Amino acid sequence: MKKLIATLSLLGFAGVQTLLAQATATQSVTLAVNTVYKIATSGNPSPLTITTGTAGSDNLTSVSDASTNYSITQNYGNTVKITANLDAALAAGYTLKLTLASTKGTSAGSVDISNATSSSAVNMVTNIQRGADAAQVITYNFAATASAGTLSSLAKTVTLTLTN
């Protein structure tokens, strides 16, 4: 009986050793987050066509569109801004104003971008906080004077740039 207990004890001890045996390995993982600047728009606004004015006034009745929006994501810091410019300046007598809403930065309000080109982009939103600003309204306002004459359909490219 003692021999049986001793044998069972040895088998039990061997089983415990097998259960406690283990091997480990380690790895070093390098983590990084690069600077991210992303901006997107929801599409193009409707055509801005001036069709009326007031008798005796050179200023025709302006038209607006607020049917599009923009979204941004950035992780750089609080010095980030959005600028805007046209592919080419508008002729005298035609005015295109742009307003960008923002919950993460300071909107400049309604800004005349008629003469803003890539070399003279204008600030639209400044002091943008880190994070995301989604579905913010873009408002266009187009005005003209009667003395500027008619304007055939003219497609303009508006560039919004998220930058520091």
Give exposure, 122-160, as e/b (b: 16+ Cβ within 10 Å).
eebbbebeeeebeebebbbbbbbeeebeeeeeeeeebeb
Q: Which helix or strand (DSSP H or E) is residue 86 part of? A: strand 80-86
Token duo for residue 45: 């606004």
In the structure, what pLDDT confidence band is assigned to residue 78 with cuts at 50, 70 and 90? confident
Per the prediction, the chain carries an average pLDDT of 92
* Residue 19 vs residue 59, higher pLDDT: 59
Question: For residue 125, which of 113, 111, 135 has the smallest C-alpha distance?
Answer: 111
Distance in Å from the first CA to the final CA of the chain: 85
pLDDT tens-digit series, residues 31-47: 999 999 999 999 999 99
In the structure, what pLDDT confidence band is assigned to residue 77 with cuts at 50, 70 and 90? confident
Instruction: Yes or no: say if 139 and 14 are a contact pair by the CB < 8 Å rule.
Output: no
Model pTM? 0.84
- Residue 13: per-residue pLDDT: 54
* Averaged pLDDT for residues 115-133: 97
pLDDT tens-digit series, residues 4-14: 555 545 455 55
Q: From residue 113, how far is each of 93, 143, 158 by CA, in Å?
A: 13, 12, 9
What is the percentage of the chain residues whose pLDDT exceeds 70?
Answer: 88
In the structure, what pLDDT confidence band is assigned to residue 2 with cuts at 50, 70 and 90? low
* Residue 22 vs residue 11, higher pLDDT: 22
